[in-house]
Amino acid sequence: MVTKKKQYHHGNLSRALVTKAIELLEQEGISALSLRRVAKETGVSQAAPYSHFKDKQALLTAVANEGYARFGQRMQHEAESGKEQDYLVGLGRGYVFFALENPGLFHLMFGGELSKLIDVNAIHEEYGSSYQLLVDAIDKTPLKRFSDSENKPLDVAFAWSLVHGIANLLQAERFTTETYGYQDVEPFVDDLLRRYLGNTA
Amino acid sequence: MVTKKKQYHHGNLSRALVTKAIELLEQEGISALSLRRVAKETGVSQAAPYSHFKDKQALLTAVANEGYARFGQRMQHEAESGKEQDYLVGLGRGYVFFALENPGLFHLMFGGELSKLIDVNAIHEEYGSSYQLLVDAIDKTPLKRFSDSENKPLDVAFAWSLVHGIANLLQAERFTTETYGYQDVEPFVDDLLRRYLGNTA
DNA sequence: ACCTGAACACCGTTCAAGT
DNA sequence: ACCTGAACACCGTTCAAGT
Judge whether residue B112 has pLDDT over 80.
no
* Cβ-proximal residues to A79 (8 Å cutoff; 6+ apart), any chain: A87, A88, A90, A91, A93, A94, A133, A137
Nearest CA of chain B to the CA of A143: how many Å? 11
Scanning residues 6 through 65 of protein chain B, those with a beta carbon under 7 Å from any atom of strand D turn out to be 8-9, 11, 13, 44-48, 50-52
Compare CB distances from A165 to B160, B171, B195 and report the shortest one's residue.
Answer: B160
Per-residue confidence band for A35, with pLDDT thresholds at 50, 70 and 90: very high
What's the pLDDT at B5?
A: 44
φ, ψ (nearest 5 deg) of residue A60: -60, -35
Judge whether residue A124 has pLDDT over 60.
yes
**Record: fold of B63-197:** Tetracycline Repressor; domain 2 (1.10.357)
Per-residue confidence band for B127, with pLDDT thresholds at 50, 70 and 90: confident
Nearest by Cα to A54 from A107, A10, A118: A118
CATH class held by domain B7-54: mainly alpha
- The residues of chain B that CATH labels 1.10.10.60 are 7-54
- The residues of chain A that CATH labels 1.10.357.10 are 63-197
CA distance B169 to B156: 20
Which DSSP state fits A198?
A: -
Give the Cα-Cα-Cα angle B196, B198, B201 (nearest 5 degrees). 90
Among B132, B161, B179, B190, the residue to mutate for chain A (most A Cβ within 10 A): B161
Task: Answer whether B78's CB lies under 8 Å from B97's CB.
Answer: yes
This prediction's pTM = 0.93
What's the pLDDT at A119?
A: 55
Name the average pLDDT for chain B: 88
Q: Do A146 and B195 touch (CB under 8 A)?
A: yes
CA distance A192 to B58: 35
Judge whether residue A7 has pLDDT over 80.
no
Q: Do B146 and A195 touch (CB under 8 A)?
A: yes
Nearest by Cα to A134 from A91, A193, A96: A91
φ, ψ (nearest 5 deg) of residue A79: -65, -30
Rounded, the Å distance between the CA of A81 and C1' of C2 is 45
Compare CB distances from A110 to B31, B172, B175 and report the shortest one's residue.
Answer: B172
Nearest CA of chain A to the CA of B83: how many Å? 22
Q: Do A157 and B168 touch (CB under 8 A)?
A: no
Residue type, B169: L
Least confident of A1-5, A104-108, B191-195: A1-5
**Chain B CB contacts of A111 below 8 Å:** 107, 111-112
φ, ψ (nearest 5 deg) of residue A10: -105, -10
pLDDT, tens digit (0-9, with 9 covering 90-100), for B92-103:
999 999 999 999
B29: left (phi over 0), alpha (psi -120 to 50) or beta: left
Mean pLDDT over A60-72 rounds to: 95
Using only C-alpha atoms, chain B has a radius of gyration, in whole angstroms, of 19
